[in-house]
């Protein structure tokens, strides 16, 4: 792991602030603003190489949910892969002796895209916080996620949607939703597919109680103050109640920090239950149809890699910032290119 000293990082940010912002592309401007946020909170830069041994990524490929890994043979005959994920490498390099590890990164990764019909290079920045996590550590990461959205594009409205995989796991346990049915139910939640839930009930796969709970989770979304009481009513175990209380505390902390209506709860925000066990999040910017930010608490990954610690983080898709009309209005390069096109 290559770390600059915090002093050098701070000096770099001071120098970067002297750059005229009107000459920067949207993703460059956003990257600088986010980097400043992370350094001010004590995060140090994590830098990694372009490739790793393929076997490392193959072992944990479910974590980054991609259709494949771009591979090639090294000079020594080893099968190598262009990195499809940063979090895995951060966790690989983590040692409990590090104490509380707080790192940020700005890296290009390579993922398979069905839309593109091949592999795409994706520009990302983000943070990871690993160690014996306190509620304050978790709140800080989520606050940084919201702050990242707020500086992503000037004048662009944003929203941060939260869910909780620990809550969904607890509810599934209460209702004895297991195996393939649990995976199907999770997929239906992610797609807000009420019709699919009803079909499962009609063909006898799930009970009426399960149907009603899944339907309630799908249709219950919006401001935390209206969602929390409704979700609390679905809980019948200490595990599920504890998860809802954590959501409530996080949302309260964000509200005090000035979220100003940008925060919502939405249980269609899901991740793999084998890895994610707590808060999960997805962030959106007006004018961009897909989420530009995603992340959450992923203690399960550390457990699978034989490391005893908590972990939470998120990544921002900087390359998506080019896909909005707002970005072109705020950038002289884009305006000039369109005028000459």
Own/partner pairs, 48-53, CB within 8 angstroms, 24+ separation: 48/1, 48/83, 48/86, 48/89, 48/105, 48/107, 49/83, 50/82, 50/83, 51/80, 51/81, 51/82, 51/83, 52/80, 52/81, 52/83, 52/89, 53/78, 53/79, 53/80, 53/81
Average pLDDT over residues 200-225: 97
Region 301-315: what's the mean pLDDT?
Answer: 95
Mean pLDDT of 62-80: 80
pLDDT at 100 over 70: yes
Q: What is the mean pLDDT of residues 122-140?
A: 95
Q: Two tokens at 210?
A: 């399960």
CA distance 90 to 189: 30
Mean predicted confidence (pLDDT) in 41-67? 83
Q: For the purposes of burial, counting CB atoms within 10 Å of the CB of 85, is it exposed (0-12), middle (13-18) or buried (19 or more)?
A: buried
Express each pLDDT in 157-180 by its tens digit.
999 999 999 999 999 999 999 999
**pLDDT digits 0-9 by tens, 245-293:** 999 999 998 887 766 689 999 999 999 888 999 999 999 999 898 999 9
Question: What is the set of domains in the chain, with CATH numbers?
Answer: 1-154+327-341 (3.30.930.10), 158-285 (3.30.930.10)
């Amino acid at each position: 792991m290559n770390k600059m000293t915090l002093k050098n990082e701070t000096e770099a940010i001071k120098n970067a602030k002297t750059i005229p912002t009107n000459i920067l592309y949207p993703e460059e401007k956003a990257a600088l603003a986010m980097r400043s946020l992370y350094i001010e909170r004590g995060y140090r830069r994590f830098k990694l190489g372009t490739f790793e041994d393929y076997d490392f990524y193959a072992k944990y490929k479910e974590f980054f949910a991609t259709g494949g890994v771009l591979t090639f043979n090294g000079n020594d005959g080893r099968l190598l892969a262009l990195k499809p994920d940063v979090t895995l490498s951060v966790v690989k390099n983590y040692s409990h002796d590090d104490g509380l590890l707080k790192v940020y990164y700005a890296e290009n990764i390579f993922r398979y895209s069905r839309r593109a019909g091949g592999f795409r290079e994706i520009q990302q920045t983000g943070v990871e916080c690993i160690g014996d996590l306190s509620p304050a550590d978790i709140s800080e990461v989520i606050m940084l996620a919201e702050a990242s959205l707020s500086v992503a594009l000037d004048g662009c409205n944003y929203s941060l949607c939260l869910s909780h995989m620990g809550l969904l796991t607890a509810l599934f346990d209460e209702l004895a939703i297991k195996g393939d049915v649990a995976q199907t139910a999770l997929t239906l939640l992610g797609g807000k597919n009420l019709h699919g839930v009803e079909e499962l009930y009609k063909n006898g796969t799930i009970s009426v109680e399960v149907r009603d709970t899944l339907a309630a989770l799908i249709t219950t979304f919006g401001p935390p103050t209206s969602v929390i009481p409704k979700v609390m009513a679905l809980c019948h175990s200490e595990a599920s109640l504890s998860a809802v209380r954590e959501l409530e505390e996080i949302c309260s902390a964000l509200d005090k920090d000035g979220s100003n209506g940008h925060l919502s709860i939405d249980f269609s925000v899901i991740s793999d239950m084998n890895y994610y066990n707590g808060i999960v999040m997805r962030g959106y910017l007006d004018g961009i149809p897909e989420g530009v930010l995603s992340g959450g608490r992923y203690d399960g990954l550390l457990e699978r890699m034989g490391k005893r610690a908590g972990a939470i983080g998120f990544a921002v898709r900087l390359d998506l910032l080019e896909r909005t009309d707002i970005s072109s209005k705020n950038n002289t390069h884009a305006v000039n290119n369109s005028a000459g096109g």
